[in-house]
Amino acid sequence: MKIEIKAPVKQNDKIIHLPASKSISNRLLIIRALCEEDFNIYNLSKSNDTRVLINALNHLSVPVIDIGAAGTAMRFLTAFLSITPGERILTGSERMKQRPINILVDILRDLGAKIDYLEKDGFPPLKITGSTLKSKPISIKGNISSQFISALLMIAPSLEKGLTINIDDKILSKDYIDMTLKIMQNHGINFQWNKSTIEVEKGNYSPKEEIVESDWSAASYWFEIISFIKNAEIQLPGLLKNSLQGDSVLTDIYSSLGVQSKFDEQWLSLKNIQTTCRHFEYDFTNCSDLAQTLTVTLAAKGIPFKLTGLDNLSIKETDRIKALVNEFEKMGIHLQTNGKDYLEWQGNETLKIPENHLAKTYNDHRMAMAFAPLAIKNNVLIIDDPEVVKKSYPDFWDDLIAFGFGINNK
């Protein structure tokens, strides 16, 4: 399936209700499952990633749990099921079977977990038999997915003497680890984080009602849209100024890229202003999910850039660095990269979007949503496999229509 996106002739709705944060939702779901008492979580994410996690936690008696393409669910459930009585097979999509999980499995095994690979060593599917894990200091590289570390942190209070994690090297997506710890602390768990060592005390999670804030990653596409349209304005309810989410740096990032941000009690207001940035450099170590949005924004505006801290982009839903290079090459933009941790562009080329251009999504929700606003620059753009947005932002296309975009099936 494909869709054709037409640029808005005029702006319609000025209020867009973003999805709830799936990062916060998924952490709260695991913590609630580990808590001895139930508690309410309001405004849970409706994303596929959260939906499959809810389904898995509600059906722990089934022998096979299939989480599809939900990487967060795979990492969090691997740790959770290792301390949950019973034997289960944890599997996922073909892409999920290509995403390594050996680092997390090796550490859990070292703590006493009973986990076996059923196909290729180091990759899902896994056979997990719940057992009692021992407490001992562990070491983990900081340059791997922060979800591995978060998965270990959330089960740490269940171990006999808690858990000490020593993190080696530069920590990627540190804000997501901080998010995990703050949510744990909000539910009664004590910890100390001293430089590269996190010590989590043994304890019981306490029940506490939660309201999930809106998703800053989803907001990024609206920052991009507003930066492209002269005089455009929009209000986004549910975004917190003092957010748990690292992607809240958007307000600072886009302040020189044509977007004025203003908080009030009900929402965040965005307004198009003059772009003042002439060269852009940023380290995305703590907010790598914004890299695609910024790459498209900067290339469309003709602003030379260097984006660093992209170390884990190649092991996401797709190799995002390679996907960006491929798609921009079709539009006359040649990005420089080592394929590992940076993207650079000299700004010496003009973005040329061919008529009826088809933007591939590579089974990646963020590729679809980051490229969709380019319809503003070309009047018409075709997006391949638009259903991928259900992973994090199921109503994205409906929200574009509400704003004023035209969208038709192809």
Q: State how far the alpha carbon of 110 is from the alpha carbons of 101, 102, 115, 386, 397, in Å.
A: 14, 12, 11, 42, 45
310's CB contacts (< 8 A; 6+ apart) are: 284, 288, 291, 320, 321, 340, 341, 342, 343
Preceding peptide of 125 cis, ω within 30°: yes
AA identity, residue 232: A
Q: State how far the alpha carbon of 44 is from the alpha carbons of 29, 123, 312, 322, 409, in Å.
A: 9, 29, 26, 32, 29
In this structure, the chain runs to a length of 410
Q: What is the pLDDT of residues 21-65, one digit of tens each?
A: 999 999 999 999 999 999 999 999 999 899 999 999 999 999 999
What are the boundaries of each domain within the chain?
A: 2-19+214-409, 22-211
Produce one character per residue of 124-151: b if its CB has 16 or more CB atoms within 10 Å, e if not. bbbbbebbebebeebebebebbbbbbbb
Which residues face 406 on adjacent strands? 6
Q: Look-up: residue for tokens 């090297």?
A: 169
What is the CB neighbour count within 10 angstroms for residue 319?
16
pLDDT at 127: 98
* Dist. CA 68–CA 74, nearest whole Å: 9
pLDDT at 314: 65
For the domain covering 2-19+214-409, report its CATH number: 3.65.10.10
Rounded to 5°, the CA angle 179-197-310 comes to 55
Rounded to 5°, the CA angle 95-169-199 comes to 95
119's CB contacts (< 8 A; 6+ apart) are: 97, 125
Residue 398: closest CA among 9, 59, 19, 36: 19
DSSP 162: B
Say whether 22-211 and 2-19+214-409 share the same fold.
Answer: yes
User: Which segments in the chain show pLDDT lower than 50?
Assistant: none
Q: What is the pLDDT of residues 153-168, one digit of tens each?
A: 999 999 999 999 999 8
pLDDT at 50: 95
Q: Name the E strands within 135-250.
A: 138-141, 163-168, 191-194, 197-200, 210-211, 233-237
pLDDT at 155: 98
Produce one character per residue of 11-44: b if its CB has 16 or more CB atoms within 10 Å, e if not. beeeebebbbbbbbbbbbbbbbbbbeeeeebebb
**How large a percentage of the chain has pLDDT more than 70?**
99
311's CB contacts (< 8 A; 6+ apart) are: 143, 172, 285, 288, 340, 341
User: Which CATH number among 3.40.50.720, 3.30.300.30, 3.65.10.10, 3.90.180.10 corresponds to the domain 22-211?
Assistant: 3.65.10.10
Q: Which of the residues are catalytic?
A: 289
pLDDT at 134: 94
Q: Look-up: residue for tokens 């852009």?
A: 280
* Dist. CA 149–CA 168, nearest whole Å: 12
96's CB contacts (< 8 A; 6+ apart) are: 67, 68, 69, 70, 71, 74, 124
pLDDT at 316: 65
What is the CB neighbour count within 10 angstroms for residue 265?
4
